[in-house]
Amino acid sequence: MAGRKSCEKTKKLSEENTMGIDFSKIGILVNSLLEKRNFDERVEKEREKMANLNIINIGKTGVGKSTIINAVFCKDLAKTGIGKPVTQHCHAYSIPDSPITIYDSKGIETGKDNTAILGEIYDKIKNQNSSPNTNGYIHICWYCVLDDGNRLDENEVEIIKKIKIIIPVIIVITQSVGGNKTNEFINEIKKDFNNNYIDIIPVMAVPKIEESDFGQMNIKTHGLDKLVERSYDLLPESVQKTFAAYQNTSVQLKSKYAVTATVFYSGAVAIAALQPAPIADAPIMIAIQIGMMANITACFGIRSSNFNFKTVLSGVGGPFAAAVVGRTFVSLLKLIPVLGTIAGGAINATTGAVITFAIGSLYIKVLSSLIKGNGKINEAEIIDALNKAAKNINMDEMKKEWEENKDNYSKSESQRILEEAKRDI
Ligand SMILES: Nc1nc2c(ncn2[C@@H]2O[C@H](COP(=O)(O)OP(=O)(O)O)[C@@H](O)[C@H]2O)c(=O)[nH]1
Ligand SMILES: [Mg+2]
């Protein structure tokens, strides 16, 4: 008899009173928060927190400098023009909707004495990097040379050596066919640098058909991933997140920061649950989760101009959250010894954090699989994929993952997130 009674109690809890959250009300709560706050602005704000990144791209006209930038950042820069001159032989343009500026050399030509131009470009880097205005600081140099069997000019070697003293340099061998000829070229370059360490990365940014003695050769794209990974490693920590978000070669790099954010936001829920007046109701947890999704969106470099965050949130608010919370209960009810805590309506720190961690993990998974090469993403696809993923989520696994990550959250950052969420509700 007693057993049946407790069984009934459990059933009632899991259906109606899951930590004081009524499933049917989740959608209403999400929508009321969306009415109050402009969360598109939140994505914008998260983007604005990312530091300015400046890259200088030097090389002779026609080697493929613009093509490399287009391929790494997936932008059709032809449409955005060549930028504005900053010196006679150096132009600057922004990667649209991002804090990234590309400095692009102009007028270095094959078969010409380029010494004066190279000197002017070097002076530009030196001046900008010693200026008190750190916004113009140039963080890395991609020095582009064509894989055409020619050697580096002597003055090119000299300027690379000088720039390398100020900032990291990667020699990018452009339109690279690969094979013996490329390897010989790489060895020549190493000799030019007296076998001192120098980064050299052969790249084919866009597929190419080459005529050879054996007929046509289709050369696939290659090397962009190495260029992106090595650049990331060489960049100062302060701008790594910016680079990770806006490059479109490595989804793993984008996810890295999104995973960290998920841990911090889940930590914020854990802190909230431990406070004297625990979050007996869902709004603050939902506000934290919406903030987390805005942050993850920014980590993926997704722009507000081609993405409506509110559409995604209103599309997933009800069914998605209900599915995750519902699954949590089926799964975690077994693990929580004192049912009374839940009956009382207070969110258990672990449970709240696990739910948040699960939502963040699902959103990252969905964005990783849907983000297109051009950085564009479709809201309807996201909603559909999230709702499907929520139905299949394994909460025991999520709990395990959270347990493994929970010591990595920054208390101060999670506290800040919590304060921000309190202002939202
Ligand atoms: N197929 C292919 N063509 C390339 C590649 N890089 C450059 N090109 C071509 O080479 C020409 C010059 O490239 P561009 O990027 O404008 O050179 P830039 O003057 O150094 O900016 C263009 O016609 C490009 O299409 C590449 O990786 N693959
Ligand atoms: Mg160009």
The model's pLDDT over 48-59, given as tens digits with 9 standing for 90+, comes to 899 999 999 999
- pTM for the predicted model, two decimal places: 0.87
The verdict on the CB of residue 63 being under 6 Å from ligand 1 is yes
Instruction: Give the pLDDT band (50/70/90) at residue 64.
Output: very high
Interior/surface letters 355-377, b for 16+ CB within 10 angstroms, e for the rest? bbbbbbbbbbebbeebbeeebeb
Selection from 312, 308, 255, 256 nearest residue 289 by Cα: 312
94: helix, strand or coil: strand
Instruction: Give the pLDDT band (50/70/90) at residue 31.
Output: confident
Measured from the Cα of 60, ligand 1's closest atom is 20
Question: Phi, psi at residue 146, to the nearest 5°?
Answer: -80, 140
Span 303-309, average pLDDT: 77
CATH number of 53-245: 3.40.50.300
Order across the sheet with 53-59: list the strands.
Answer: 84-87, 90-94, 100-105, 53-59, 140-146, 169-174, 199-202
Span 66-76, average pLDDT: 88
Span 63-92, average pLDDT: 81
Residues having C-beta closer than 5 Å to ion ligand 2: 65-66
Tell me what pLDDT residue 272 has.
85
Question: Phi, psi at residue 204, to the nearest 5°?
Answer: -120, 110
The verdict on the CB of residue 62 being under 6 Å from ligand 1 is yes
Please tell me which residue, 19 or 359, carries the higher pLDDT value: 359
Tell me the torsion sign for CA atoms 288, 291, 295, 301: positive
Distance CA 126, CA 413 (A): 36
Span 259-266, average pLDDT: 96
Using an 8 Å Cβ cutoff, are 347 and 328 in contact?
A: no
Cα(109) to centroid(ligand 2), Å: 12
Name the residue of 56, 65, 67, 114 to mutate for ligand 1: max ligand atoms within 8 A of Cβ.
67
What are the residue ranges of helices labelled H in 210-334? 224-234, 237-246, 251-274, 283-299, 309-332
Using an 8 Å Cβ cutoff, are 307 and 234 in contact?
A: no
293: helix, strand or coil: helix
Residue ID of nearest Cα to ligand 1 atom 6: 64
Residues of the chain with CATH 3.40.50.300: 53-245
Q: CB neighbours of 289 closer than 8 A, spacing ≥ 6?
A: 265, 269, 321, 356, 359, 360
Beta strands at 90-94 and 84-87: parallel, antiparallel or unpaired: antiparallel
